[in-house]
Each structure stands twice: as C-alpha cells, then as structure tokens.
Structure 1
Amino acid sequence: MEFYRFDKDNGKKITHFNSDFIMSRIIQTNSKANIGCMHLGESGIVGYHQAVVPQLLLVVDGEGYVRNEEDTYHYVKSGDAVFWQKDEWHETKTVEGMLVIVIESEELDPSLFMKLANI
C-alpha cells in the first residue's frame, strides 16, 4: 500500500489560454481503465478483499480509514490517494461518510505523477 497526495499544494499553476487554476496530475494509462465514484455513507465500508488489478483510491470528500493485509488502519482525508497492487488485500471504511474516486487498470503507476505522502 502506498500513499500519495493530489491536493492543491501538490499541483502546478496553469496559465495557458488565459487560465488561472492549479492542476494536480493523477494518472495516465494507455490501456483500458475503469473509473468509478463511491459514495460511502455513515459507517460505510468497502469490505476486505483482494485487488483484481492495481487500484488507486482518491479521497475527494470526507475522511476514513484504509488497511492492507497488515491489519493496521491508516487515516485518510480529502486529497489523499491510496494505491494497492494487484492481489493486495485491502479494506476502506468511514465513520461519517466519504466520497472517493477509484481508478483500476493493469498499468497504473501513480509515482509518475504524484509525490509519495508520509502517512
């Protein structure tokens, strides 16, 4: 399990075409990728299971906890990204609710675009 940040502080200011915003790059794939949005309500959980392919979880809103096979939960909040390798056991849960984007693809490598976080 690896932790990354995709918040504003890890982005780059974009001014092309009269633009004024911060872009935090996340991932690029050349092969098929599945992208989904999970709405975890109060006491929501994504049960303990193995990743079928490499998986990147992006916390958009709220906060919660993630773990891998080590059975130690790690706190995550908006702007955090968690990466699990193929076949890695993992679980995600929240007390108050959390909105996450999940990207799954055989060729994910978040280290190409995001900095590792110290969690």
Structure 2
Amino acid sequence: MKFYQFSKVHGKNISQFNSKFIMSRIINTDASASIGCMYLEENGIIGYHQAVVPQLLLILDGEGYVRNEQEQYFKVQTGDAIFWEKDEWHETKSDKGLTAIVIESEQLNPATFMALK
C-alpha cells in the first residue's frame, strides 16, 4: 500500500488554448482500465479482499480509513490516493462517509504523475 496526493497544490497550471486551470495528472496507460465511483455512506465499508489487479483509490470527498494485510488503519481524506498492488489484501471504511474514484488496470503506475504523501 502506497499513499499519493492528487490535490490542487500538487497540480500544474494549464494555460494552453487560453485556458486557466490546474490539473493533477493521475495515470496514463495503454492497457484497458476500469474506472468507477464509490459512495460510502455513514459507517460504509468496502470489505477486506484481495486486489484482482493493481488498484488506485482517489478520495474526492469525505474521509475514512484504509488498511492492507496489517491490521493498522490509516486515515485518508480528500486529495489522497491509495495504491494497492495486485493480490494485496485491503479494506476501506468510513464513519462519516466518503466518495472515491477507483481505477483498476494491469499497468497502473501512480508514481509517474503523483507525489508520495
């Protein structure tokens, strides 16, 4: 399990085409990828399981806790990205609720674009 950040402060100013915004790049892959949005309500949980492929969880809103094989939970919040390798056991839970994007792909390498937390 590795922790990254994709928050605004880690982004890059984009000005091409008369644009004015900040982009935090996440991934670039030629492999197929599955992308979904997860909504954990109050006391929600993504149960303890093995990652079928490398998996990146991007916390968009709220806060919660994650763990891997060790039973120690780590607090996560908006702007955090958590990366699990294929076959790594993991769990995510939230007391107050959180919204996250999950990206699953055989060729994920978040270190290419994101800073370690």
Same fold (TM over 0.5): yes
Identity of aligned residues (%): 65
1:109 & 1:16 partners in 2: Cα distance?
26
2:108 & 2:15 partners in 1: Cα distance?
28
Q: In the alignment, does 2:43 pair up with 1:40?
A: no
Superposition map of 1:39-58 within 5 A: 39-58=39-58
Partner of 1:63: 63
Give the gaps of 5 or more residues in structure 1: none
What displacement does 1:56 show? 0.1
TM-score (norm 2): 0.99
1:7 & 1:115 partners in 2: Cα distance?
10
Superposition RMSD in Å: 0.4
What displacement does 1:32 show? 0.7
Amino acid paired to 1:83 = F
Moved over 4 A (4+): none
What displacement does 1:48 show? 0.2
Cα deviations by residue, 1:17-38 (Å, 9 ceiling, x for unpaired): 1111000000011011000000
Tell me how many residue pairs correspond in the alignment: 117
Superposition map of 1:1-119 within 5 A: 1-117=1-117
What displacement does 1:74 show? 0.3
Question: Residue 46 of structure 1 aligns to a residue in which SS?
Answer: strand
Amino acid paired to 1:65 = Y
Give the gaps of 5 or more residues in structure 2: none
1:28 & 1:43 partners in 2: Cα distance?
33
Question: Residue 9 of structure 2 aligns to a residue in which SS?
Answer: helix
Cα deviations by residue, 1:65-107 (Å, 9 ceiling, x for unpaired): 0000011000000000000000000000000100000000000
